[in-house]
Copies of this chain bind each other. A is one copy, B any other.
């Protein structure tokens, strides 16, 4: 059972929205077949828990459609979001039996799951899966570190501007005709945004109102945001202006 150095191999498959084929034709069929054999889909309604921290977790998964969050909770109820999973993002840890965080569907959600055992075996025999997973994990680690800077050092206003920027970047469904504008829906409630940012929901609400009053953003209803000038918003984030030139 030899492998032929395939160049691409994502963890999703079938109707998942991300590419998944190995380049090498001889491997491809093999792997596809194996992945197909151990995968299944699960759906969740908005607000439903996917799994609770400490629960036995016998699968790993990637998001197909919708949004899920990872949160940690202290005994007294203080909550901090520690992960935001968008389509193609991966959850679960090979080699760990129980979930370390609460995973919740914040919108209707479809996940593509792989039973843990066979997935781990497959990973052992298919080296580039581990490599692809490593890449994704390193990206997540970078995101986590950016997030740490936000939590530790940014003001409430900068936090909001940063979050809006992040969502705009990933979600820029409609670029405005006018130069440099975007519009998008907020996928999070004010409270979820607060849990993301380490703030209270009142502060989130106030800061959004301020940005609105100043014309940095325009709201249509409570959830739909229009950013007339993205650069203007970017100035408020406190980040280096040159944008993320990683890699």
A contacts, CB < 8 Å to B:
5, 70, 72, 74-76, 78-80, 82-83, 93-98, 100-101, 123-124, 127, 130-131, 133-135, 137-138, 140-142, 144-149, 151-153, 197-198, 238-240, 246-247
Contacts and interface: CB of A to CB of B under 8 A. Distances in A.
Contacts of A147: 148
Nearest to A158: B74
Contacts of A127: 127, 130
29 contacts: A72-B145, A72-B146, A72-B148, A74-B149, A74-B239, A75-B240, A76-B238, A80-B148, A80-B152, A82-B145, A82-B149, A83-B145, A94-B134, A96-B247, A100-B142, A100-B145, A101-B145, A123-B131, A124-B131, A127-B130, A130-B134, A134-B134, A140-B141, A141-B141, A144-B144, A144-B145, A144-B148, A152-B197, A153-B198
* A-B pairs, 4 with minimum CB distance: A152-B198, A127-B127, A151-B151, A82-B145
A192 B238 CA distance: 21
Contacts of A72: 145-146, 148-149
A100 B246 contact: yes
A71 to B, nearest CB: 9
B70 A145 contact: yes
A74 B238 contact: yes
A148 B148 contact: yes
Nearest to A239: B74
B153 A78 contact: yes
Contacts of A135: 95
A133 B83 CA distance: 21
Nearest to A74: B238
Contacts of A148: 72, 80, 82, 144, 147-148, 151
